[in-house]
Amino acid sequence: MARVVVDVMPKQEILDPQGQAVANALPRLGFEGIAEVRQGKRFELEVADDVDDEQLAKIAETLLANPVIEDWTVRRVDS
C-alpha cells in the first residue's frame, strides 16, 4: 500500500469566494497581515502498489478535480 496526496486548488484566474470569505474574516477576528487566502481540497488516498502514476493522474483529473477551474497535483508520500 502506498499513500498518495492529491491537492486541488482553484486556478489563479478563478475567483475563490470561500478563500475571500476567510480573508475578510481575519481582520475582524484580530488577525492582521494576511494578504490573500485561497481554499482548495486535499485528498489522501491509500492505493495498492500496482496503481501507477498515469492511473492516479486520471483519477485526479476526472474525479477529484474539475480541470476547467482547478489545478491539481499528485504526489506519493511516506506512510
User: What is d(CA 31, CA 17) in angstroms, rounded to the nearest whole number?
Assistant: 19
Which parts of this chain interact with its own copies (CB under 8 A)?
A: 1, 7-9, 19, 22, 25-26, 29, 31-48, 50-51, 55, 58-59, 62-64
- Min. distance of Cβ 20 from its own copies in angstroms? 12
- Residue 13 or residue 46: which is nearer to its own copies going by CB? 46
Contact 64, 42 (CB under 8 A): no
Q: Which residues pair with 23 in a beta bridge?
A: none
Q: Which three cell numbers stand for residue 7?
A: 491537492
Give the chain's length.
Answer: 79
Smallest distance, Å, CB 13 to its own copies?
Answer: 15
> In this complex, which beta carbon is closest to its own copies, that of residue 28 or of residue 68?
28
